[in-house]
Amino acid sequence: MAMTLETNPAKDATPTAMQRAGEWGGQMFGNVVGWLPLLVIFAAWEIVARSGLVSAFLLPSFSSVIMRIFDDVAEGDLITNLGLTLYRTMFGFLISAVGGIALGLIIVRSKFAFWLLDPLVSVGFPMPKIAFLPIMILWLGLFDLSKITMIVFNDIFPIITATVAGVRAVEQQIVWSARNLGTSERRMMWDILLPAASPQIITGLQVALPIALIVAIITEMSMGGYGIGAVMQNASRMADSRGVFAGIVEIAIVGYVLLKLMSMARARLLCWHQETQHDH
């Protein structure tokens, strides 16, 4: 009687410890390679600053800037100012996200809203809205209300545009099929149009988030008070070059973290979408 060897596919598909270690090593190598350009820039910064080619006032060394950041953390100043900047950034961004998505949906679904709002969005989106900063200061003063309003004013246009483009890109066959099945307009919006348009809407949010941070920094520089931008402006007035460069590094780190968090949120929200499936 012939004997046959049976294999367990599930067992064979399970990665071994060696394979897992190889995958982890490949990921680590990829991360190191990805950070290599920044490491080269930081090393070049340190070398040039210490070479004597430029004065410490014009270009403080990278290590001295990092020490300044640690000093600010120890004194509590960085936490306070960073917290205020993030509060203004995220509050303005959230208002823009809710208002921009809502207005985008209204523009698509209402002919009157399209007639009324589309020209305003077409004109307002490309123009440099930071030019309205003096008007905001005259109308609303120098406090958080004017800063957050400026963030919303700059942030809402890309979200409206992305929402309109995303909803209009939904295949009409899907809409027609849903209507033939008796789907109401409300259910059509929440169950079909919004999920189908969500990749482009989230792309608009990813564009708007760094804009919110940029405008927050600019308004803090212009209006003073507290926040990373205001601290940088004060450091510039006091000829504190280390403080200015420390602010630049802090803003870069905050921006990177916010974009990473947004990318993670995108992957989680679009776990059902084909773009996420391709990543795996």
* Amino acid at residue number 140: L
User: What pLDDT, in 10s, does the model give residues 143-185?
Assistant: 889 999 999 999 999 999 999 988 888 777 776 776 666 666 6
Nearest to 269 by CA among 203, 212, 186: 203
Q: Predicted confidence band at 233 (pLDDT cuts at 50, 70, 90)? A: very high
User: What pLDDT, in 10s, does the model give residues 55-88?
Assistant: 888 889 899 899 999 988 888 888 999 999 999 9
Tell me the C-alpha distance between 144 and 139, whole Å: 13
Nearest to 243 by CA among 51, 52, 66, 45: 66
Question: 38-47, 205-214, 263-272: which has the minimum mean pLDDT?
Answer: 263-272
Tell me the C-alpha distance between 227 and 78, whole Å: 9
The pTM assigned to this predicted structure is 0.81
The secondary element (H helix, E strand) that includes residue 221 is helix 194-223
Residue with tokens 């708007």: 208
Question: 18-32, 40-54, 197-211: which has the minimum mean pLDDT?
Answer: 18-32
Query: Would you call 8 helix, strand, or coil by DSSP?
Result: coil
Query: Would you call 158 helix, strand, or coil by DSSP?
Result: helix
* Amino acid at residue number 18: M
User: What pLDDT, in 10s, does the model give residues 104-117?
Assistant: 989 988 889 889 88
Q: Predicted confidence band at 253 (pLDDT cuts at 50, 70, 90)? A: very high
pLDDT computed for residue 22 by the predictor: 59
pLDDT above 60 for 13: no
Length of the chain: 280
pLDDT computed for residue 130 by the predictor: 86
| Domain 62-268 architecture | Orthogonal Bundle (1.10)
The 10 Å CB-count burial string (b at 16+, else e) for 235-272 is: beeeebbbbbbbbeebbeebbeebeeebeeebeebbee
User: What percent of the chain has pLDDT above 90?
Assistant: 35
pLDDT computed for residue 5 by the predictor: 47
Indicate the domain borders of the chain.
Answer: 62-268
Residue with tokens 């969500």: 198
Q: Predicted confidence band at 209 (pLDDT cuts at 50, 70, 90)? A: very high
